[in-house]
Amino acid sequence: MRVVEIDSGGVRGVEDGGALAFLGIPYAAPPVGLRRFMPPEPPQAWSGVRDASSFGPAAAQVPKRGSLDDVGELSEDCLYLNVWTPSCDERRRPVMFWIHGGGLRGGGASEASSYGSALAARHDVVVVTVGYRLGVFGGFVWLSQLDDDRLSRSANVGLLDQLAALRWVNANVEKFGGDPGCVTIFGQSSGGQSVAMLMSMPESIGLLHRAIAQSPAQPRALEPDTARFLLDRYLAHLGARGVEAAGIYTAPSQELVAAVSDLKKETDWGVIGHPIHPILDGAVLRRQPLDAIGAGQAADIPLLAGWNRDELVLNFGPDVPRLTSEALAPELARPLPDPTVASRMAEAYGAEALAGLQPSPPAPWTMFNGDRMVRIGAERLLDAQSAHQGRTYAYMLAWDPPSARGSLHCMEIPLVFDTTGRSAWGRLIGDGPTVEPMTARIQAAWVAFARTGDPNVPLLPAWPRYETPYRATMLLGDAPVVGADVWPAQRAAWNGVDL
C-alpha cells in the first residue's frame, strides 16, 4: 500500500494489476443539503490518512442492477474520482481523464469497462475516472428559471463538476506520477458530448491539452425556449408524483430522478430529441459549443473523434427491415416533421441509397438514428476544430467482433481500457483471436495521441489528418484502412438541419 499527501489530506491506495489504485477520492464537497443544485465547492480537508481502496458512490439515477455496467451504490454525494498510476514517482506521465457516458442521467466512474489498471500499467500513463452529477441534480433541467434565487446558478453544474475535477488533477496529479501539463480528456456518448462542451468553455484553458470524443452525443446545447418547455414538462411529471416546485430542495432524490425518467419517456426520439441535455444558459455555456469551437475557442487542443459503424443496433434491433425510401418516409414523420426534410432523408437512407455503400452500413432506420444521435455531430465537431487545429483526426470502428452484432455503441470502451476480460461489454464482444490485436491497435493509438497529439502508430496504416473536403477517416477493423468522407450522401442530407 502507498500513502500520498494531496491538498485535502493523505490517501492510501492499493496495488492493483500492475498499477497503484487510489479510489473514491473526493474532489469537491458533498453536493447535499444546502449544496443541492449548487456549483461544486472545494473538498473538505481531513486529518490522518483516508482509505482509498474502494469506489465512492455513483450519482443519483435510476438503478440498473444487472445491466451491462452496474455502477453500485447511488447517492447525491457523488463527487469522487479514481486514479490509477504505475508509480507515485517523478516521471510526469501523460494523464488520461475519463468522463463516463450514460445520457447525462446514468453511468458512473466505477464501471467495469472503464477500469483503469490495465491501461495505466500497460502504457505507463496515469488514468483518472470521474463521477459527476446527472439529470436534474447535474443542472440538465433548467431549474434556474424558477423564481428562487437559490437555483440561479443551478444550470449545467454537472459540467462544472467536471471542471472542478480537472482543477483537482491540475493541483494534485503530479503527486501520483502524472504531468499536469499533459492532460487528455476522453469520454464516450454523453461523456464525448461533455468533451465538446469543455472544449468550448474558456474556463478549461490550461486544464486540458488533448481531447478524444468517442461517439459523442449531439454536441449542441438546448436553446432557452426548448429548455423552458422541458422544465415545464418536468415540473408536471414531478407534480404527478406529489412534489411541487417549492419542495424541490427537500424532495427525496428518487422522486426527482423518477421524474427525469418520465420526461425522457415522453419526449425521447421525438422532435426534441434527448431531453436531458446541456443548456445554453448564458453563464456556464455562453455560446453553442460548435460555434465557440468553430470560432477557435479550442484552437490549441488536438482532437481525435469518431463513432462506431453500428451505433444503435441494440436500440433499434439488427433485423429492422431494409426499408425502401417510400416505406421509410412515414417512419421519419415524427422526428422530422418538416416534410421537405423528411423526404430528403428518406431518399438518403432508403435501402436503395444504402446498397453497396462501404463500409457496409446497418439497416436504414438504425443508420438514420445512429447518424442523427452520433455520427453527424461527431463530424460537425471535427469540421469545426479542423479549421483551427491541424492535429485533428477521425475514426470509425468498423469491426466485426466474435460474438456481438457489429460495432455497437460503447463497443470500443473495453478495447480502449483492455477490460474485455472483466466487463459485461467485454463478454458481449466475445473471445477470439481478433480481440487482442484490436485492443492493441486502439490502445496504442489512443495513448500515442495522449502523449503527442498524433495517433499514428506502427500497428496502423498512416493516419492522415482530418480536413474538409477530404475528411480522412481511419476505419478500425481487423484490416484497418483509411477512408475518405465516409457515407457522404447521408452526411449531406443533414446540411442545414439542427440535431
Pick the CATH number of 2-223+279-289 from 3.30.1950.10, 3.20.20.20, 3.40.390.10, 3.40.50.1820: 3.40.50.1820
| Catalytically active residues, by annotation | 189, 311, 409
Ranges of each domain in the chain: 2-223+279-289, 302-493
Per-residue pLDDT of the chain (499 residues; tens, 9 = 90+): 689 999 999 999 999 999 999 999 999 999 999 999 999 999 999 999 999 999 999 999 988 755 556 788 999 999 999 999 999 999 999 999 999 999 999 999 999 999 999 999 999 999 999 999 999 999 999 999 998 999 999 999 999 999 999 999 999 999 999 999 999 999 999 999 999 999 999 999 999 999 999 999 889 999 999 999 999 999 999 999 999 999 999 999 999 999 999 998 887 544 446 789 999 999 999 999 999 999 999 999 999 999 999 998 877 655 556 788 988 888 887 778 788 998 999 999 999 999 989 999 998 988 998 999 999 999 999 999 999 999 999 999 999 999 878 899 999 999 999 999 888 888 889 889 999 999 999 999 999 999 999 999 999 999 999 999 999 999 999 999 999 999 999 999 999 998 8
Q: Which residue blocks in 201-324 are alpha helix, DSSP H?
A: 224-240, 253-267, 289-294, 313-316
| CATH number of this structure's domain 302-493 | 3.40.50.1820
Q: Which of 188, 186, 191, 197 is nearest to 219 (CA)?
A: 197
Phi and psi, residue 51, nearest 5°: -70, 130
Alpha-carbon distance of 222 to 112, in angstroms, equals: 31
Alpha-carbon distance of 286 to 303, in angstroms, equals: 22
C-alpha cell at 476: 478500425
Q: Which of 281, 283, 288, 286 is nearest to 145 (CA)?
A: 281
C-alpha cell at 4: 500520498
The two domains 2-223+279-289 and 302-493 share their CATH topology (first three levels equal): yes
